Structure 1
Amino acid sequence: MLVSAKKAGNLFVFGALGLTLAALAYPAMLGVQKTTSSPDRIVANTRYGPLTEADRDFVVKVRAAGLWEYPLGEMAMRRGTSPEMREAGKHLVVGHAGLDEMCRKIAPELGVVLPNQASPQQQQFVATADAASGKQFDSTAVTIMRVTHGQIFPTIAKIRATTQNAMVLALANLANDTVLDHMTVLENTGLVNIDQVNFQQSTPPKLPKDDTTPPPPLQGAPILALAPRPDLNIHTAAPAPTGPSAPSPSAG
C-alpha cells in the first residue's frame, strides 16, 4: 500500500518520538502516582476548609507544570513553523501565567511551599523539544504536551470533585479550563496522532520519585514568578474562590 509523503513523514516523526516519550511521558502537572501516605489525609485545617495531602500535591504540581510549559510555550511562539503552532504557544504562556498567579496567591494562605524549578523529568521535556528543529520541533513539542495534558485532565476532575478547600477548588476550576484550552489548541495544529497519544497516556513508565518530584526551593530564595505577557491579549478568567473569607486570586 502506498503512503503519502506527508503521512510517511508523520510516521517517521512519531516513530522517532516513541522511544523518547516512552522514557518521558508521565503525568506532568498533577500526577496520578500515589502520594506519600493517604491522599485523603488532612495535613492542615485552614479557614478555607481542610487541606488534604492530595490538595497540597495538586498545588505544587500545578506550579511545577508552569515552570516547564511556560518556557516551552515561549519556545513555540518563536520557533513554531505554523500560525497554529505559534498560537498554541501563546495559550501555554497565558494559561500558565494565570495558574502561577493563583498558586502564588493561595500557597501562603494554605502553608504550601512552592518549588522554583520543574522536576528533572519536566526539564527533560523542554530539552527534548529544544533539541529538535523545524517541523520536527512542532511535532515533538505538541506530542509531549498533548500526552501530559491528556493524562492530567481526569485527575483535575477528581480534585475538583473531592476537595473541601475553597482555594484548591478555585485552582482546580481554573486548571480544568486551562488544560481543556491547551488540549484544544494543540489539536488545532493538526499534529496530534491520537493513536500515539492514547498509547503514551495509558502506558506511562515507572520512574524514580526523584525524577518526577520538583526540588524544594533554597531556603530564603524569592519565589520565581511567571509574569503575564503584555504583548498577548489572550485571557482566561480566573474563577474567584468561594467561601466567606476567601481572598481574590490576584498576584501576590
Structure 2
Amino acid sequence: MRRIIVLPAALAIALAGGTAGLAAAPDVNDQDRSFLVAVHEGNLAEIQSGRHVETQAAGKAVRDAGTTLVDDHTKLDEHVRRVADEVGVRLPGEPGDTQRADLRRFSAMRGTQLDTAWVAAEITEHKEDLAAIAKEQTDGSSDKVMQLARDAEPVVESHLKLLEHIRTG
C-alpha cells in the first residue's frame, strides 16, 4: 500500500516539473531572481562582444581587454549558472533585448570606431553592474546569491579600472 501512495506523489511532482533544482528556494526573493537573470544576460553579452572585439578592434589594449572580459565573464557565468541551479532560478538562453541591440550595433563596427564605442559602453555597463551588485547585497535575501554578488564585485571593479585606463590612454 505504501508504494501506491508514494508513486502518485512522485508522478505529481514530476508532472508539475518539480525537482529540487527547479523549485525556487524559499529564501530567494524577486531581487535575487532579477539579479541572477540580469547578470547571466550581461555575461552572455560580454562574452559575445568581447569575442568580436578580440578580432575587430584596432588597439591591442582593446583587443586584450576583450580577451580578459571573455575569460572572466565565462568563469563568472559558470558561477551564476551553478548558483541559479542551486536556488532554483531558471536563466534565459540568450542576452536580453537591450544587450542584443548593442551586440548588433557593435557587430557592424570595426577598428577605432569599435574601440571607442565599445570601451565607452563597457564603462557604462560595468558601472551599472556595480550598482546592481550593491543592490543585491542590500536587498537580496538568498545568502548564495548575495555571496555571488560579493564574489563578482572585485572582478567587475577590475574590468572598470582596465577600461577606464584604456579610455584615458
TM-score normalized with structure 1 length: 0.54
Alignment-derived partner of residue 11 in structure 2: none
Query: Is there any run of 5+ residues in structure 1 with no aligned partner, and where?
Result: 1-42, 193-252
Alignment-derived partner of residue 100 in structure 2: 123
Alignment-derived partner of residue 123 in structure 2: 146
Moved over 4 A (4+): none
Q: Does 1:81 align with 2:75?
A: no
Deviations 1:45-93 (A, max 9, x none): 1xxxx11110111011111111111011111111222221012112211
Q: Does 1:58 align with 2:35?
A: yes
Alignment-derived partner of residue 38 in structure 1: none
Q: Contact 2:62–2:115 (CA<8 Å) still a contact in 1?
A: yes
- Rounded Cα–Cα distance in structure 1 between residues aligned with 2:63 and 2:101: 21
Deviations 1:94-151 (A, max 9, x none): 1211111011211121110011111122111111111122100111111111112212
Q: Contact 1:68–1:123 (CA<8 Å) still a contact in 2?
A: yes
Aligned length: 146
| Matched letter for residue 38 of structure 2 | K
Alignment-derived partner of residue 188 in structure 1: 165
Identity %: 29
Query: Which residue of the other structure, out of 140, 144, 149, is the alignment partner of 1:172?
Result: 149
- Rounded Cα–Cα distance in structure 1 between residues aligned with 2:31 and 2:135: 10
Q: Contact 1:62–1:99 (CA<8 Å) still a contact in 2?
A: no
Query: Which residue of the other structure, out of 73, 92, 103, is the alignment partner of 1:96?
Result: 73
- Rounded Cα–Cα distance in structure 2 between residues aligned with 1:66 and 1:163: 20
Q: Tell me the CA shift for residue 157 of structure 1.
A: 1.2
- Rounded Cα–Cα distance in structure 1 between residues aligned with 2:135 and 2:81: 22
User: Superposed, which structure 2 residues align to 1:1-252 within 5 Å?
Assistant: 44-45=25-26, 50-190=27-167
Q: Tell me the CA shift for residue 153 of structure 1.
A: 1.3
- Rounded Cα–Cα distance in structure 2 between residues aligned with 1:116 and 1:78: 24
Alignment-derived partner of residue 217 in structure 1: none
> CA, structure 1 residues 88+78, in 2 after alignment: closer, same or farther (shift >3 Å)?
same
Q: CA RMSD in A?
A: 1.8
Deviations 1:10-43 (A, max 9, x none): xxxxxxxxxxxxxxxxxxxxxxxxxxxxxxxxx7
Query: Is there any run of 5+ residues in structure 2 with no aligned partner, and where?
Result: 1-23
Q: Tell me the CA shift for residue 191 of structure 1.
A: 5.8
Q: Contact 2:57–2:110 (CA<8 Å) still a contact in 1?
A: no
Q: Tell me the CA shift for residue 44 of structure 1.
A: 4.0
> CA, structure 1 residues 76+191, in 2 after alignment: closer, same or farther (shift >3 Å)?
farther
